[in-house]
Amino acid sequence: MAKFQHMDAFLSDLIQQPIGPAGCGCAVAKNGEILYENYFGYADLEKKTPITAESIYRQYSATKVVVCTGAMMLFERGKFLLNDPIYEYFPEWKNTMVAETQPDGSYIIRPAKRPIEVRDCFSMAMGIGYGGDDYTHRMMAQVRGELAQTVGDYTLRQDIHAMSKVPVCFDPGTHWLYGFGHELVAGLIEVTSGMKVSEFLKREIFEPLGMDHTGYHYFGDLREKMVTPYANDGKGNRTPTPAMFDDRFEPEAKYEAGGAGLFSSVRDYIKFSQMLACGGTYKGEYIMGRKTIDLMRGNQLNETQLRDFQNDYLEGYGYGLGVRTLIDPAKVSSSSVGEFGWTGFMGTYVAIDPSEQASVVYMHNMVPNQEKFVHHRVRNIAFGALK
């Protein structure tokens, strides 16, 4: 059986390796109790500031798990259904068009065969990704450029309205494409709760769970606790690098994204992950229903969509309502069917196993993030150490 000293050995060695981060943190918990928590290396190499439990990391796409959880809390309060057309909440999206590629590389713009549904936004089947050189994503960049010129620092709701002009890449529900869907999920939180995303998550998740180092915008002394982001050339040279979206952490920033935007600490995020691992309750605080969590982590993808989704990092997993979900553990993992979570661009990672009421959180901020090398080993050591 793997022991938690193996996690110490792996992570202490990791920060010494040429491909490793300047510093990192990791926690493993079960049944609401911390089994393992440790920190290695530096939050800032130049200042020799050590990584601690107070260190804060850019979450990037690990934001998605939190945002989709918040939205599913509203689902179980009857605020929307998964098969609702999104135009019921965003009327400008009623007449969605598809940019259909022709054999000669040209495009035909035609009406979508059916409306985009709420489910498609959660499961990344709505048809707009994060970028590319096709018609859809060239128009996406153009529309956002015009929006920025017109209004400057625009809001999530303004972005959603502008993006309704963009033809999607395929008929809703027919393929999987990582991207804009979770901005619509965040917008759904705003429309159905009457609050900004940051306000809803703070009131309904962060405050009840005691996540006082988590948010969209700096408060208190949290700016000083943010780790320095590094670029690693693979030879052990770690250079401070500008981090995408850092400007959105400023208190006056307007855009609150569904797909990225939160900062958090390992200690905060392990609380959130334990709530999901333990049926929606943590330390006596009821956040959401156990069956809603089961719905979130159920695979939503058909065979075609699974081919779009899977790669060597995601082998054995499908995709649920905003989270990867393990469907074939024999291929990759010692965790259970239905273990779920996601990853962030600069190295954040969460894996949640309700069958064991266990979860693991790992964080660093580095590019490239070395996710396959680090995350899979952390996962296997963590779940291998459970008794």
Instruction: Kindly report, residue by residue over 33-72, the tens digit of the pLDDT.
Output: 999 999 999 999 999 999 999 999 999 999 999 999 999 9
pLDDT at 387: 86
> Residue 160: which of 134, 133, 190 has the closest Cα?
190
The reply to whether 108 and 239 lie within a common domain is no
Structure confidence by residue, pLDDT tens digits, 164-215: 999 999 999 999 999 999 999 999 999 999 999 999 999 999 999 999 999 9
Please report which confidence band the pLDDT of residue 8 belongs to, taking 50, 70 and 90 as the band edges: very high
The reply to whether 220 and 125 lie within a common domain is no
The reply to whether 71 and 173 lie within a common domain is no
> Which of 193, 224, 256 is at the close of a domain?
193
The reply to whether 358 and 293 lie within a common domain is yes
- State how far the Cα of 187 lies from the Cα of 164, in Å rounded to an integer: 13
Stretch 347-361: mean pLDDT, rounded? 98
The yes-or-no verdict on residue 331 having pLDDT over 90 is no
Cα end-to-end distance, the chain, whole Å: 9
DSSP symbol at 228 = P
Q: Please, what is the average pLDDT of the chain?
A: 96
Stretch 82-96: mean pLDDT, rounded? 97
**Count of domains observed in the chain:** 2
Domain with 211, as residue range(s), is 4-75+195-384
CATH for 358: 3.40.710.10
> Which of 160, 193, 226 is at the close of a domain?
193
> Which of 162, 193, 224 is at the close of a domain?
193
pLDDT at 2: 60
Q: What's the distance, CA 244 to chain centroid?
A: 15
Both structure tokens of 375 = 């995350």
pLDDT at 334: 76
pLDDT at 1: 45
Kindly write down the DSSP assignment for every residue of 137-187, as one continuous string: HHHHHHHHHHHHHHHSS--HHHHHHHHTTSPBSS-TTSS---BTHHHHHHH
The reply to whether 313 and 375 lie within a common domain is yes
The reply to whether 225 and 331 lie within a common domain is yes
